[in-house]
A and B are shown apart, each in its own frame.
Chain A
Amino acid sequence: MVQTRKILTNRFTVVQFHKTTNGGHYAETMARAWRIPSHSDIWIFMLLGLLKVDGYWKLWREVYRGNHIIAANHPTLL
């Protein structure tokens, strides 16, 4: 019980913290509040630690807004 309350308190603190630091972006705030790193996802590559996305929810938000170009470098395994 004490542990639960402690976690909840921490979550609340984290939410309050991120509301002020990342412009109140809800998805990223909640992900961080529930101790989920923003790059973590259900995909197997990410779970295995083979692929990491720094700024997943930032990109998600941009894609959701639409009218948007992703400009990236083009590495290769070949």
Chain B
Amino acid sequence: MFWPFAIAMPRRFFIWSVPDGTLFPNWLNWLYGISHCIKVDRGAGSNQSSVKVMVRVLKSGSTITLHPEGGRTDSRFREKNVPRKQFGVNTELGTKIRRIQSKVPELAILAQARITPLWVDVPFKDEQNGFKKALWLWLRHRHTVTLSVRDSYRPDRSMTSYDRNKELGKRILDA
């Protein structure tokens, strides 16, 4: 999305991601750094070394993309040009999200970073659609994938971990 800027200012605009440690085989470990990935072992209880790298990356002025849910979330299927409708959880836009169990707000506090909530809306995919049908709907019928960005915020230190995660989930939902 930011690739021309990433060429001009790679430290700022070449955004880091946090894939699982199994993304590349061991002999391709050197690819993680080159492709701005921070390896995380999702099976392990804590990833102190990865957290240290993330804090260092954030403090150096870079951006990290994280998916704090620990699972996948889709919007429900709807026809083209139909706005997001309510289902499931009683939120402003009626979308649904898993419980946030990650340490993203804690990471932001450690690195004194801001968090920007973002909702990726893929309205043509749900459990009834297979990959081929979803791809067909997207390309042939010109469905739109929408990325909605909300204002950034700094997590509150005085809140409990549970409340901070709840707040993050709500902000992502309302984006």
Contact = CB atoms under 8 A, between A and B. Distances in A.
B40 interface: no
Given A55-B150, A71-B115, A50 B139 contact: yes
Nearest to A45: B145
Nearest to B173: A73
A68 B2 contact: no
Interface residues of A, number: 31
A45 B97 CA distance: 26
Interface string A45-71: 000111111111011101111111111
Contacts of A49: 142, 144
Interface string B51-66: 0000000111111111
Interface string B63-84: 1111111011111000000000
Interface string B102-118: 00100110011111111
Contact of B145 (A50, A58, A66, A78): A50
Contacts, number: 147
Contacts of B72: 74-76
Contact of B131 (A60, A70, A78): A78
A72 interface: yes
Nearest to A41: B1
A1 interface: no
Contacts of A55: 147-150
Contacts of B67: 71-74
B122 A75 contact: yes
A28 to B, nearest CB: 12
A33 B45 CA distance: 51
A39 B148 CA distance: 10
Given A52-B144, A54-B146, A68-B116, A74 B71 contact: yes
A39 B9 CA distance: 21
B73 A54 contact: no
Interface of A: 41, 43, 48-56, 58-60, 62-78
